[in-house]
Amino acid sequence: MSDESKKEAMKQLRAERKSSIQKAAATVKQQKKELKLLKEHLTGDGATAPEIAEAIGINVSQVIWYLATLKQYGEVVEGTKDGCYFKYQLVETDSAEAA
Amino acid sequence: MADGQTITCDALVVGGGIAGLQSALDLADQDFSVVIIEKDLSIGGKMIRLSKVFPTLDCSSCITTPKMASAAHHKNITIHTWCDLKFLNSSDGIVRAHVTQKPRFVDEDKCIGCRKCEYACPVYVPDSEQGGFCATKAVRIPFSNAIPQVAALDPEFCMLCGKCEKVCPTGAIDYFQKPVDFTIEAKTAILATGFEMTTIKGKPQYGDGDVQNVITSLQMERLLAPHGPYNRVLRPSDGMEPDSIAFVQCAGSRDKSMGIPYCSRFCCMYAIKQAMLLSGSLPLADIIIYYMDIRAFGKGYEQFYQNAKAMGIQFVKGKVANIQQADDGAVAIRYEAQDGTGVTTENHDLVVLSLGVFPDWSPKGICPVSTGKDNFIQTVQPSIAPTLTDREGLFVAGAAAGPKDIVDSISEAGAAAMEASNYLMALGK
Amino acid sequence: MTDPKEKTEKAESGKSEKIGVYICYCGGNISDHVDVEKVRDEAEKMPGVAVARTNSFMCSDPGQELIIEDLKNGLIDRVVVASCAPSLHETTFRGAIARAGANPYIYDHANIREHVSWVLHGEKATFKAEKLVGAAVGKASLLQELDPIRVDARKHATVIGGGIAGLKAAKVLAERGIDVVLVEKSPYLGGNAARLDTIAPFGEKSAALISELAEDVLARDNITVMTHSKVIGFEGYVGNFDLTVQTTFADAADHEQAAGHYIPTVGVITESATEHIIETGAVILATGFKSYQPRHGEYGFGENSAVVTLPEFIKQMSEVDPSKTELEIGSRKIRSIAMIHCVGSRQIPGIHEEDEDGYLNEYCSRTCCSAILHAANQVKEIFPDTNVYDFYRDIRTYGRGQEELYDQAANNRVVFLRYSAEDSPVVTANDDGSDAPLKVTVKDGLTFNEEVEVAVDLVVLATGMEAASIPELVSMMKLPVGTDKFLQEIHPKLAPVEMAVSGVFLAGTAQAPMTIAEACNGAAAAAVKTASLLSKGHVELDPYVAEVDQNLCQGGGACIEACLADGALEMQDVKTAEGTVKKARVVPALCLGCGACAAVCPSRAIDLKGWSLKQYEAMVDMIVAED
């Protein structure tokens, strides 16, 4: 389809999916905010999920969910063990991009 | 595929799990043409989602992926994933199926499975392929060894931001993809529609799904799997490595109050297997299985059970009365021990429920094949021809005809393929 | 893109310089113990290696795709895969190479799972993995393209055993258009099932099931039934077996009924054919099981006639007069019965008594729980006043309709007592003054291990299944047998009805205890594999066979003396410039590829394709090479 008609079709699709798009956008906004906070606390030797949760005021189960996710996408690695918990560290930016 | 198209073949296999794949391969190897339709984004069924399998402790992928690959590359097999079966019937030697392929919003022919879209997508979505323990993206390859290796976009979570479209090297993203209706005309069909497991929700005595660190056995499979969410076993509430893990057997089976009076057949063995794998990865952890009867009936199963006992896994005979949240994310299990100690409460870091197994597909309103009072597909000669349904030309294999472990499903799938072959021969193919 | 075929041909003059090495993590199965990336780094440095890659599952589609892409792009012309045992996935990787348009035999396999990560840990594991990969690389550098040996396959199968599984296999194969000979050692068809009355859990008459199958089998033109017969000779190879069958009429029962009739407790009587050499393409073993026979004194068996096995009890029950108000067996009133599970099954070393060969049946016999509950229900439903006490370890009513038997038994007021293997019930003579001859004592796990005593008129032992005794077949056909003495399949999931001997399949309880339904599924599954194998009219065999260099052969004949396979090597007259001389010749389809000939040839004229001495030397060189 031509650029023009595609633009029009996209517009229409956006209108159709308005509510789910809004919901997704709100989710992304929240995720971005929380991930930014979380990553700020992953510098240096890293930290455990409860330590991060305590520091940034997010539920610890949500923190471990983010950590597991970032690990899947190569942005975080598991570090040393601290008691019953593992520390998590940010991957150097270069390799994160490569991943 | 074009909307309204009709595909013809000798045999239709409904379900691309291990039973369906085996049936398809056994038919195709005899030069019958086979079409597999699968409701999911990938073939492989429950088995490809498992960690290791009893009693050999082979990794599940090692057994499943080659069968998936040989089906996918077989000259006599065509696979359609992400399909809904709308109608299926057989009469006068013709099996007709109406199928709707749902939109993936990705062109299956163009996608090369590079995952660039997935990395570019900004929306994190709970990953049901990982028990919800981590996120995937709104557009993603379903899982690492999925077949086909084709991305799919979930419109529920998509913002239409266009990032995936921009990075796709082959122009495969198609936001406007529509469902495609097509017809399959075969001569016979094998129903290999598999099973599903009940959820924790709706079981107040087991915490209704609100008690942290109470997980399902399929979630435990993910925790133990090589590509699991944490790559190790951690409890999901806070990422702690558990010291004490309990399995609650018959949590939904053999219990009329749960709606499932029958035995779910393979839970004893997978609980023992999971316990063994846990004791390998967490050698210091206490592992307890609460059970009524251990049903280790298959070849090599009893020896597997005795090995587990010898490894120090504790087997406690007692019916679990209820499960509640204890302090610091722990889970309190109250049970009546049959050794005379009476009602006891024990705390664990992580609790796995062996939930009930029920049919994943109901033919009601789609296909005139009968079901039993257990809702699984009814077979008419259960002893000497266990794969025959009450509709001529329609056969059943695997857990669609009652809970069945992988070994028994594979055997039955071969049997269904044999009966279907002979039905085709009788039709004069 | 370069044509990979052209590449391999070019390399034939010397060693390949384009070896691709593909190392599998196997999830964590390998990578938990082997430093896979280090092995990759080392492999990359090995002579001739062009690329070395890793993948979490090399057998998955994305994993196979790596190999295919490299072949198609001309990066490689030899393939080494380091993963699990080749018995699991050799065919998988050959298939991938063939899909890339290359010859599937340009590939060698290093087993770094079963031979490494499952038995070694840490540096040792990584070291051994490197060595095995090195050996495979050394061999791969000298691999040649080979073609499989294609031989005609007879569209004919032989089923050994005329029980339920054998009948089912014969029936479905014949329906598929394959000629079948069914060989049964007894005069009857029906096997062990003929001793049963009704079948748990659905209650069909065993006689009806057997008759239905047997009538079908006897009516088919393309099935030859040979009763009173046993297989005494086995020769040939997949697609072309010659079986010698010996038929003896001496033990034929003296029955007046005509062939095709069902005779209670034994089965359908048949007339026997007299054919003696069967030319067949595949063999299905449906040799069945035998019932466990309790030791003298085991739960009082043999010491007291009121202790019987379940098959005996089933026979007694089928003769009982149901119109009586009380259960009477042989004019003895039976008011109270004890049924004991797991007799001869689930035996535990150190607890149970071994047999004279020091052997225990450690497995579960799978069928007895449902069978004995079915019997208990029959008793209670006809004679509600008869007390039934059920002594069990675990109730294993796992299958469809089976849990209902258990519920029904509870509703029928069968009394359950749970025992542990350490404290099995004790059966002794009753001395409480009542007329019940026996008493059973047990620590009941359902009532806090209290000691309970029950006086009974009859004890029924739920005896399990044992592998049928077929030592002649096992040694003649070189059949693998498991530690449980049942015949052993190649792999429970990948090849569940296939045996290591190509063209030989397993059906029913020859493999393990199973129900009639499961035996029929196993039989049909074996039949479908047989049909796939034979329906094409030919089979392909691996080309790993001996090859004679006619220029070097001196005609000494040492190879023929050493040869383990009859007819695989022969002398032929060859005309040369110096006149007619004798030279050895290989019959590829019969050659086992064992290499015994290569070892004895004084002039090194005979070698194995795909496993040549030079290739072995290259492997050894790589193993002993200093790092």
β pairing state of C223-226 and C179-183: parallel
Termini Cα distance of chain B? 27
For C365, list phi and psi in degrees, rounded to 5. -85, 5
With touching defined as 3+ CB pairs under 8 A, do chains A and B touch?
yes
8 Å CB contact of C517 and B384: yes
Touching subunits of C (3+ CB pairs, under 8 Å) are: B
8 Å CB contact of C446 and B338: yes
- Residue B159: which of A28, A71, A84 has the nearest Cβ? A28
| Domain edges within chain C | 4-148, 156-288+469-539, 292-465, 546-608
| Domain edges within chain B | 6-102+179-194+360-427, 116-167, 199-357
Is the bond preceding B148 in cis, omega lying within 30 degrees of 0? yes
Residue C11: the pLDDT is 44
Residue C372 CA to residue C361 CA, distance in Å, equals 19
Residue C590 CA to residue C467 CA, distance in Å, equals 31
Asked whether the domain spanning B199-357 has the same topology as the one spanning B6-102+179-194+360-427, the reply is: yes
Picking from B234, B282, B284 by the largest number of A CB atoms within 10 A of its own CB, the best residue to mutate is B234
Please name the residues in contact with C254: beta carbons below 8 A apart, sequence gap of 6 or more: none
Identify residue B86 by its one-letter amino acid code: K
**Strand segments (E) across B16-137:** 34-37, 52-53, 58-59, 77-80, 83-91, 94-101, 124-126, 135-137
Superfamily of domain B6-102+179-194+360-427: FAD/NAD(P)-binding domain (3.50.50.60)
> Which residues of chain B fall below pLDDT 70?
429
The second-level CATH assignment, the architecture, of C4-148 is 3-Layer(aba) Sandwich (3.40)
Residue A92: the pLDDT is 72
- Nearest Cα neighbor of A95 from A78, A72, A79, A76 is A76
SS (H, E, C) C298-347: HHHCCCCCCEEEHHHHHHHHHCCCCCCCCCEECCEECCEEEEEEEECCCC
8 Å CB contact of A48 and B239: yes
Residue B133 CA to residue A53 CA, distance in Å, equals 17
* C positions 403-442 inside 8 Å of B (CB): 403-404, 407, 418
User: How many residue contacts between A and B have a Cβ separation below 8 Å?
Assistant: 91
- Cα angle vertex B222, ends B221, B228, to 5°? 140
Can you tell me whether residue C150 is helix, strand or coil? Answer: strand
What is the enclosing helix (H) or strand (E) of B425? helix B406-427
Nearest CA in chain C to B261: C403
8 Å CB contact of C402 and B263: yes
Write out chain B residues lying below 8 Å of A50, CB-based.
238-239
Domains and CATH numbers, chain A: 3-98 (1.10.10.10)
Write out chain C residues lying below 8 Å of B429, CB-based.
none
Termini Cα distance of chain C? 36
**pLDDT tens figures, B190-226:** 999 999 999 988 788 899 889 999 999 999 999 999 8
Please name the residues in contact with C402: beta carbons below 8 A apart, sequence gap of 6 or more: B263, C200, C201, C369, C370
Dig out the tokens for B193 from the structure: 């529609």
Residue B250 CA to residue B355 CA, distance in Å, equals 7
Picking from B123, B124, B156 by the largest number of A CB atoms within 10 A of its own CB, the best residue to mutate is B124
Write out chain A residues lying below 8 Å of B155, CB-based.
17, 20
For B135, list phi and psi in degrees, rounded to 5. -110, 155
Rounded (10°) angle between helices B18-28 and C516-534: 40
Residue A66 CA to residue A69 CA, distance in Å, equals 5
Name residue, tokens 């396999």: C109
8 Å CB contact of A24 and B229: no
Please name the residues in contact with C157: beta carbons below 8 A apart, sequence gap of 6 or more: C173, C178, C179, C180, C181, C280, C281, C282, C283, C284, C530, C534
CATH no. of B199-357: 3.50.50.60
Residue C567: the pLDDT is 84
User: How many residue contacts between B and C have a Cβ separation below 8 Å?
Assistant: 225
Name residue, tokens 């009082």: C300
H helix intervals, B56-126: 60-73, 116-120
Picking from A39, A64, A82 by the largest number of B CB atoms within 10 A of its own CB, the best residue to mutate is A64
Residue B336 is given by DSSP the state: E
Please name the residues in contact with B258: beta carbons below 8 A apart, sequence gap of 6 or more: B198, B203, B252, B356
Residue C12: the pLDDT is 44
Identify residue B322 by its one-letter amino acid code: N
Name residue, tokens 């009805």: C497
Write out chain C residues lying below 8 Å of B51, CB-based.
27
With touching defined as 3+ CB pairs under 8 A, do chains C and A touch?
no
Nearest CA in chain C to B412: C521
ipTM: 0.97
Q: Read out DSSP for C253-304?
A: ----SPTT-EETTTEEE-------EEEESEEEE---EEE--PPTTGGGTTT-
What is the enclosing helix (H) or strand (E) of A13? helix A3-16
Tally of CB atoms within 10 A around B343: 10
Picking from C32, C36, C60 by the largest number of B CB atoms within 10 A of its own CB, the best residue to mutate is C60
Tell me the helices (H) and strands (E) count for chain B, helix number first: 8, 24
Residue A54 CA to residue A63 CA, distance in Å, equals 10
8 Å CB contact of A73 and B119: yes
Residue C626: the pLDDT is 76
CA distance C56 to chain B (A): 9
8 Å CB contact of B338 and C528: no
Nearest CA in chain A to B240: A85
- Residue B338: which of C362, C445, C536 has the nearest Cβ? C445
Please name the residues in contact with A86: beta carbons below 8 A apart, sequence gap of 6 or more: A48, A78, A79, A80, B232, B234, B239, B241
Touching subunits of B (3+ CB pairs, under 8 Å) are: A, C
8 Å CB contact of A61 and B155: no
With beta carbons less than 8 A apart as the criterion, state whether C22 and C44 touch.
no
- Residue C57: which of B65, B386, B414 has the nearest Cβ? B65
Q: Read out DSSP for C428-471?
A: EE--SSSS--EEEEEEEGGGTTEEEEEEESEEEEEE-EEE---H
Nearest CA in chain B to C534: B30
Backbone dihedral region for residue B11 (phi beyond 0: left; psi -120 to 50: alpha; all else: beta): beta
Tally of CB atoms within 10 A around C138: 26
8 Å CB contact of B56 and C403: no
8 Å CB contact of C448 and B338: yes
Write out chain A residues lying below 8 Å of B119, CB-based.
73
What is the fold of C546-608? Alpha-Beta Plaits (3.30.70)
Tell me the residue length of chain B.
429
β pairing state of C179-183 and C156-160: parallel
Strand-pair partners of B348: B331
Residue C291 CA to residue C344 CA, distance in Å, equals 9
Superfamily of domain C292-465: FAD/NAD(P)-binding domain (3.50.50.60)
Is the bond preceding B55 in cis, omega lying within 30 degrees of 0? yes
- Nearest Cα neighbor of C419 from B296, B300, B302, B338 is B338
8 Å CB contact of A20 and B237: no
What is the enclosing helix (H) or strand (E) of B267? helix B267-281
CA distance A80 to chain B (A): 13
What's the pTM value of the predicted model, to 2 decimals?
A: 0.92
- Nearest Cα neighbor of C86 from C139, C127, C44 is C139
Asked whether the domain spanning C546-608 has the same topology as the one spanning C292-465, the reply is: no
8 Å CB contact of C449 and B300: no
- Nearest Cα neighbor of B140 from A69, C604, C127, C594 is A69
Mean pLDDT by 10 residues, chain C (627 residues): 44 76 90 94 96 92 93 96 89 93 96 92 94 97 94 96 98 98 95 95 96 97 94 93 85 55 73 78 98 96 96 95 92 96 96 91 98 98 97 97 97 97 95 89 91 97 97 96 96 94 96 98 98 93 92 93 89 88 91 92 94 94 86
Query: In the β-sheet with C240-247, what is the strand arrangement from edge to edge?
Result: C229-237, C240-247, C277-280
What is the fold of C156-288+469-539? FAD/NAD(P)-binding domain (3.50.50)
Residue B139 CA to residue C524 CA, distance in Å, equals 43
- Nearest Cα neighbor of C523 from C101, C257, C21, C173 is C173
